[in-house]
Structure 1
Amino acid sequence: MTDEFIAQERKNTADIYLPNTDTWVVEVNGVVRGFIALMGNEVGAIFLHPDYHGKGIGKALMDKAQSMHGNLEVEVFKANTVGRRFYSRYGFEHLEEKFHEPTGQQLLRLKFTAHGLSRPLQ
């Protein structure tokens, strides 16, 4: 990804994404180590510090999203093997592949279908 794209996404995160999403963070010893941001049932972002991959934190964040919305959708770059592996293990399935003009990369749209109720009881 270009420096220009990353700089624009940093600006978009503060100006667009955070004010318009429901966001949960994971703190370890008072330090944020990960977060998930939802726009309805769309996973807009899920990020973990690399030292915390494989420790169940990402799954816990996704479980929170799924408990609130049931079915979920997400877009992930095809080149993001870590993200794709995580979504596959969680149960997301391929919906479509498209070209992401700003980065010149292929983008995958994935869907998680909750079994049973379309939205779990709270």
Structure 2
Amino acid sequence: MNLPITTVSKHEYDSIIVLWEASVRATHHFIREEDILYYKPLIRNEYLKSVSLYAIRTAENTIAGFMGISGPNLEMLFIHPDHLRKGFGKILLQHGIVAMNVSKVEVNEENTEALHFYQKFGFNVVGRSETDSAGKKYPLLHLEL
């Protein structure tokens, strides 16, 4: 599979947030509805502009998934539910590790599927926080290569 990874422009933020919400609803069953609604504008208006954004696109140039990177930190990686388990996350993560020197990521403790995904690529748990960065009761695992 040879799909392009491209940067994401600000005019694509609305598409990115739609993908983010679909992905969260499909994979983060532990997050309450009111918290999805809390995070959505924060991600759209603050978080996206604080990272370097990269997308993987289908042959039709539709964004299938994206990642946000800040220094060595993978701050976000989301795949649209229509494209889960097709290798898009693997392609993005490998690109982040090889081309962008990603070596750290945080994952919700309850998101065991994501934890196992990162562990397959050599990430190990090095710490834990009781809350997420917004202070919500979603414990985070800190992983490093």
Task: Give the shorter-chain TM-score range.
Answer: 0.7 to 0.9
Decide which moves more: 72-81 or 102-111: 102-111
- Give the Å deviation of 1:8: 2.5
Tell me, which stretches of 5 or more residues in structure 2 are unaligned? 1-30
Q: Does 1:77 align with 2:102?
A: no
Counterpart of 2:126 in structure 1: which amino acid?
Answer: L
> Aligned residue for 2:33?
3
Measured in 2, the distance between the counterparts of 1:86 and 1:46 equals: 11
Give the total of aligned pairs.
112
* 1:99-118 mapped onto 2 (5 Å cutoff): 99-100=130-131, 102-112=135-145
Measured in 1, the distance between the counterparts of 2:105 and 2:73 equals: 6
> Aligned residue for 2:52?
22
Maintained 8 Å contact 1:71/1:111: no
Q: Report % sequence identity.
A: 25
Give the TM-score normalised by the residue count of structure 1: 0.80
Measured in 2, the distance between the counterparts of 1:16 and 1:41 equals: 19
Measured in 2, the distance between the counterparts of 1:80 and 1:32 equals: 23
Indicate the SS of the match to 2:139.
strand
Give the TM-score normalised by the residue count of structure 2: 0.69
Question: RMSD in angstroms over aligned alpha carbons?
Answer: 1.7
Tell me, which stretches of 5 or more residues in structure 1 are unaligned? 113-122
- Give the Å deviation of 1:37: 0.6
